[in-house]
């Protein structure tokens, strides 16, 4: 399944992927050249939520050349849940992976991305920066959880204005 050249603004979670069908099932999704902004969900990620919840379900999500901006999800009665991207694989569930390439994940309610234990997420040439906490302050933890760095990534509390090109740089 593919989502290509899309834009979504101001709805619930823009994309919610839930692998929960038959045993030994394989699935895949590619999201390419999309702008996902100003979305707020009541759980999961405001921009995209990828959840695996049954044994033996395997799949792969590829997110390529996309921007996730100003998304959020509440957590414990505050807007501090996963903002841009949420990836969850339940304990003992099937194997799946999320590959994020050439993307910008910025200005989301912090963290910009949440990866729960057991999930596999890899980033290549991706900027994760400028995601902020409940009161608008930048947070150090731009990505919550473990992820695989395949090179060319920039993860920082601060981003440059979009007019300057690159997403992020570090203030001293």
Report how far residue 64's alpha carbon sits from residue 133's, in angstroms, rounded to the nearest whole number.
26
pTM: 0.80
Segment 128-151, tens digit of pLDDT? 999 887 667 777 889 988 899 999
Query: What is the structure's pLDDT at 169?
Result: 42
Per the model's pLDDT, the better-predicted residue between 115 and 82 turns out to be 115
pLDDT over 90 (residue 102): yes
DSSP for 32-94, written as a single string: ES-EEES-B-SSS-SSEEEEE-STT-EEEEEEES-EEES-B--BTTBS-S--SEEEEE-TT--
Report how far residue 85's alpha carbon sits from residue 101's, in angstroms, rounded to the nearest whole number.
13
Look-up of token digits 């999309």 = 34
Phi, psi of 12 (to 5 degrees): -70, -150
Mean pLDDT of 55-84: 74
């Amino acid at each position: 399944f593919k989502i290509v050249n899309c834009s979504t603004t101001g709805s619930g979670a823009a994309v919610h992927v839930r692998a929960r069908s038959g045993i030994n099932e394989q699935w895949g999704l590619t999201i390419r050249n999309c702008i996902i902004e100003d979305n707020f969900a009541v759980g999961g990620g405001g921009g995209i939520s990828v959840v695996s919840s049954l044994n033996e379900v395997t799949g792969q999500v590829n997110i390529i050349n996309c921007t996730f901006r100003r998304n959020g999800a509440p957590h414990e009665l505050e807007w501090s849940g996963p903002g841009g991207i949420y990836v969850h694989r339940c304990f003992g569930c099937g194997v799946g992976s999320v590959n994020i390439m050439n993307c910008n994940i910025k200005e989301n309610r912090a963290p910009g991305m949440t990866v729960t234990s057991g999930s596999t997420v890899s980033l290549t040439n991706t900027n994760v920066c400028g995601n902020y906490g409940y009161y608008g302050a930048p947070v150090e933890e731009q990505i919550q959880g473990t992820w695989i760095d395949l090179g060319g990534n920039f993860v920082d509390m601060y981003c440059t204005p979009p007019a300057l090109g690159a997403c992020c740089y570090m203030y001293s």
